[in-house]
Structure 1
């Protein structure tokens, strides 16, 4: 390893040639970005006006609202840094989207100037700096994102400036530069919060470059100015929260982490079925998903790693391929992509380790921290963009190192030092790229769980639903009742009896009185990514899918509905026609099966009530409205107030007997609560259920004692009640007279 003092000496003062070269790089970068602005203005349908709901449109609208005095109006949700930048742009050039894009392009061009300086400081070669600046100037994805109103493009400008200042500080420590680095890091954080990972890299560089006390001083100075840069945002959040918890910068966070890593996630931003069934904390939901599918979670992280280091640029609400390459010949003409930068960037880190191990540690840490800042989210093109600046700088370093060895004709050293790591990098990048197309895998299950509820229902003589089971993190299915705005989730186990060419679809729905209240429709085998639909299944393979839906706030309360499952296929050229497939071995015209009964309740404001009669330790009677008299033949209302003492698994039947003077039954009622519409298996514990029963009075006048109780209709066994050997509770008497 060469000692630092053997590195080529270079001046820290700029010559006229340096200035002219820097200006040339800036003009080239700006010119290329302006060309893409005009290309997109002519052919990009998403250029102007901005599509509703996109991040760009939101940022521009927030800037307009700021000018109107109506924003901010609460703790920041959207990244504020880009909004305030756009406010400044509108103050300079007006409200024209085209002119504002030119301001963004100019900022992107300035980043190329900072990069030229960073490359010069890093490689200790003028041409190394020129190369770094030119690489960033012509890199097509950087050009594209410099023409949009997104946080990542602006954050890339700050990162280029950070690199320039950090490497300059390494050469000649100065307090003002440490303070300025803190400000730049603060601006980066309020523009793209996940890039706060740059701060540890900066602190590591100080620790590696300066004596301990000096490093601590400069670190403290930077952190103070970083805090000052984000303080206005944090203080506003504190004020706007009015005593509630508030974020340091924005309130976005765990919901997006869950979106990117849930049991159905794709590795890019999407609304997966799992997002529809989160009831509480997103972190708890993520941990539950990992427990359910640990191997899939690992494979998803490998896929996201492959996406990150690949040439792919997955879109979100802005697509580089659709709005960039498809409309701009310039972007199509430049053969650079992210995987190429990744290869040479990491090769540059290897070169740094040979020549300056501390510098190599800094850049390795920088690459890995930016990568780590993206991994909790999804590996889409725009989130990868901030990594371009350090990769470009390291690529320039690799070029200089390789050139020096080649110029000195040190071919053996060149091969010995760089052939093995280059081969390892190529293999790693190729392997990760291959993983993108195959992970996470959808595999048949090894066996059926012990708690499976068997069904064995068949459709089309080909598709069989073996059974289903409940899951502990979503107790609604196990209990048979739930609170509104909570999720109903089950796991289904499918197989095909013979190879099929049909891709079946299914629905799982909550039906009350024939009306669909909530439900989930999806192709069988495609709930989770990566989809493996029924046409790809083989007999003997069993596939399990976790799925569900959320009960809406306006769901009918205190009435049982059916959880029904049906199978259908889509027909027609555009698959717009749905053909329902009847259930085999079911009653004629049955188009679905019923998994269970479910009732929805409003659980707020309920308190445990002491009962005066307890039946079998399961049902408590704590209120009764029993009219003392009635007319012969009258239909009399008896009102009961019940509480379940536990989660009941049985649908008990209520009976009421009126006995004559001989002890014979003079009138009788048998039925489940609420006219058979609220079975006891759907009652939540400690919830008061009011049940009104109509009992027809006998025609003969007299005084009739009233008894009641509960029994299991399957066995006719009565629930015992204290003080009654026959399971009948005496409620009182009713006088029947005209």
Structure 2
């Protein structure tokens, strides 16, 4: 399981660029400060009570000293580990996404667009960047620390129920607890980030494991002092480790009484060691800033919540399992529903297990009652402190409760294990575990890559693209595009464009696109955003770059169809707001297409049914007639039986009884919007013609003659 977890972590790391893991940029900034100055950074207050777009951009830039302030252990160790690499290029790489300048903060939804906090240079590679190499090393450390947390979930369950297992001795509750942690996609995503959370989670979980062991077996005061030292290290990692102090004292009180003085001094040994190792940083904060916890920097840079209700709780629960990056990037609602059902089943199992009349098959209450109460109390303290933090800062990130994730894992695994008394329950549990692993495995490709994958194509434009080779002023070329399938009203389409930069662009451009018929003024959909997107805007491009840009166009339901539509594409200088002309000055756009738009539903039945065939390809299925002042309006209902071999012209002639021509209208079907050579078998084409006939329209009888000619 640990090997599988490590493999998953590697795939998440490969799909998550530097700085896109939550708070990674701030931790790297602090580590760089340690490397440069060999000392912790001072506290810096950055008020942002009512942030503007400029404030947001400034906040995410590099700062020396950094704006982030936290206990020193993680950053000091990370600096020691990476000092031989250095991070000289970090200030150059921290480029906030252009969306911040527009005030377009990333939104919490499943749309992968604008989920990145930073734009990313081409040189963000292991081969070219010291910062990337340092981050890769620290991400590997994070993954190892997260593996310790996974093991702790297993160890907690084994301590509670040492004799638990099936007929083959497999400890399913312990394995289930480990799997709950290891296959939690949010935990995996956190585990590959440069953050002090992973060190805290490992130290917190290890501390709880040894507290459980000492509660069960007892321990002499040196062991309690060693545990206090471990907790002291957690205190020097993150302030939330303060929750371990009351938990350690409670564990010391609850350890078995062995009649020796050791059992009475264990809590003192624990407390003195914990404070001796970890309290100095808090005392320093009091002396320097009158802020012992060092939290004022967070409170002044965040906006508190005005309410804490159901919506906020749902956001926290989602981010406890699957909400990636900063925004965060959400998954589909059914996935959350399935996770919720699993948690509900676990809750039912826990309720059933604590009933005296029920004898659980694995992991009963009697064996681990005190330990379960102890762990539940730890989770409750974590939840209450997090709720206070969320209200004060507005941060609704469930990952901040991962210090007690192994505790939740033990309770969930124990609750689910109660369903194993039935064969169908065992099958359901196996299926749930397999689905959890499968979902965790597809997250990088399904969610992370669309949101964070660079549009830069080192291998150039693929061979499947249709070449265009139009050069705009500024020496930016539209090299080609991918052909689309037929369009349909009401759908969203993606038009993939390939751009090339023979020389490095000197401006940041936006790409605009419009979808419309031959008359450009009749556009039905449009698009406008930065060329290269928010991940790789054009002012970061290097000479020779080929960049893929996907244009998203939402075709409204009212779009006339069937018909032909063209995509018109151009550039706008982001500084001046003016369109960029082609290099030859002939136009300011490229016209791509056309594409066929097919009707989403068949037309209404004609008032007058007919069955006239024009060769083998076209059939007239009916017509409508309507007098309009001095014109006769004729609506023809054509049906394509085969693909016509030419672009035909329709004629509609009005004749008197002797066959004399009274009026006529000749023209392509649908006024040329859908030439017959584009028709496909099954197409139903409604075609209107207006025949001017003056007073002749009042004569009777009249004859209508229609047909097509090449």
Would you call these one fold, judging by a TM-score over 0.5? Answer: no
**Higher RCO (C-alpha 8 Å, min separation 6):** 2
TM-score under structure 2 normalisation? 0.41
TM-score under structure 1 normalisation? 0.40
